[in-house]
Amino acid sequence: MLSFLPVYIYFIALSFLVSLTLLARPATGFTYLKAFPFFLILTLTAETVGNYLSSISKNNIMLYNLFSTFEFAFFMGVLAGIIDNKMMKKVIWITMFMYIIAAVCNIFFLQGPTTFHTYTYCIGCLIIVIFCFYYFFELF
């Protein structure tokens, strides 16, 4: 059954198991880290299902369209958790909300559900890079 899974899926599973230790720790200032086990189990599920669909020659584009949108939203939420500036946190949350709306519109109405959402994927990458630059700027 598991012989069709690529090696990277086992690493995601191992990462999930290790991340469970975060749930057992007492609350710290890094509460956003407690979301990682849930993120990793969703990642593991999406990758396993996506691989299975591919192995039986079924279309998995919609799965990856929706999951990559979720990934970008998750990473924006993590960045909002680690950035100290309250105004910038608000900007990130608003950007995340607008990104989700744009991605869903793109997936269902512009590029269509049978095509990977390259436009909003590129925009999501750019948004994450910009917020990471801001985070590093805030550190120094």
Q: Which amino acid, 44?
A: L
- CA 67/CA 87 separation, integer angstroms: 28
What's residue 2's pLDDT?
52
pTM of the model: 0.90
For the stretch 91-101, pLDDT in tens is 999 999 999 99
Q: Which of 90, 92, 78 is nearest to 127 (CA)?
A: 92
In angstroms, the CA 64 to CA 70 distance is 10
Average pLDDT over residues 38-60: 94
User: Which own/partner contact pairs does 21-25 have at CB distance under 8 Å and 24+ positions apart?
Assistant: none
pLDDT bracket for residue 3 (50, 70, 90)? low
